[in-house]
Amino acid sequence: MSETVIEPDTKDWTWVLDEACPECGFEAGRIGVEQLAPAIRDDATGWERTLAGEGARTRPRPDVWSPTEYGAHVRDVHLIFAERIRLMLAEDEPTFANWDQDATALEKRYDLADPATVAGELLDAATVVADLYEAVPPDAWGRRGLRSNGSVFTVESLGRYHLHDLVHHTWDVTGACWGG
């Protein structure tokens, strides 16, 4: 596929927990914890359709990921957030290892991924993390964890942050704004 390097995303997106995202329309404050798992599952189903479509491996521009590359990233987002939720439920205020999403994209060769394989893996990863959110005890939503840059999350805010990531990448690929 393309040898064009995608410009790394170095923005700190934690502000989406307090403000509506002007691009995808997501409003974290409107999301209840009971909505997380169903929204994650719904998003994964949408990715199945997107990755089955013609052109799933085609970049709209050389410097923008293809739907398959975005799908591989979303799959890995689910895996990272599942790991972080497990840590937050098992440990007191864990610090999350830094995740360089751009290095992961290059290392795992998202640009060469098979759309059908990515769709299945994304659905599996979404199911695992959705099940984790459904199993969070009511008194554990306030448990805290820290990102390597010092940002503090609760299980609840991490879930909302996670959901924004998914919604935003769906918007990146389809242009569809959040209506949840």
pLDDT digits (tens, 9 = 90+) for 126-139: 999 999 999 999 99
Query: For the stretch 151-174, what's the b/e string if a residue is b when 16 or more beta carbons lie within 10 angstroms of its beta carbon?
Result: bebebbbbbbbbbbbbbbbbbbbe
Task: Kindly report the pTM of this predicted structure.
Answer: 0.91
Structure tokens at 4: 């064009």
Q: Residue 92 falls within a domain, yes or no?
A: yes
Q: Name the band, by pLDDT with cuts 50, 70 and 90, for residue 10.
A: low
Q: Residue 59 falls within a domain, yes or no?
A: yes
How many domains are contained in the chain?
Answer: 1
Residue 1 has pLDDT above 50, yes or no: no
Q: Residue 111 falls within a domain, yes or no?
A: yes
Q: Residue 11 falls within a domain, yes or no?
A: no
Angular region, 44: left φ>0, alpha ψ -120 to 50, beta rest: alpha
85 is in which domain, residue-wise? 22-174
Q: Residue 4 falls within a domain, yes or no?
A: no
Per-residue pLDDT of 65-100, as tens digits, reads: 999 999 999 999 999 999 999 999 999 999 998 888
| CB-based contact 23:167 (threshold 8 Å) | no
Q: Residue 166 falls within a domain, yes or no?
A: yes
Per-residue pLDDT of 29-64, as tens digits, reads: 899 999 999 999 999 999 999 999 999 999 998 888
Q: Residue 179 falls within a domain, yes or no?
A: no
Cα distance between residue 39 and residue 126, in whole Å: 10
Q: Name the band, by pLDDT with cuts 50, 70 and 90, for residue 15.
A: confident
Which domain CATH number covers 162? 1.20.120.450
Q: What is the pLDDT of residue 146?
A: 94
Cα distance between residue 147 and residue 97, in whole Å: 7
When the pLDDT of each residue in the chain is averaged and rounded to a whole number, the result is 90
Cα distance between residue 60 and residue 72, in whole Å: 16
Q: Residue 7 falls within a domain, yes or no?
A: no
Residue 153 has pLDDT above 90, yes or no: yes
Residue 8 has pLDDT above 60, yes or no: no
Q: Name the band, by pLDDT with cuts 50, 70 and 90, for residue 145.
A: very high
Q: Name the band, by pLDDT with cuts 50, 70 and 90, for residue 11.
A: low
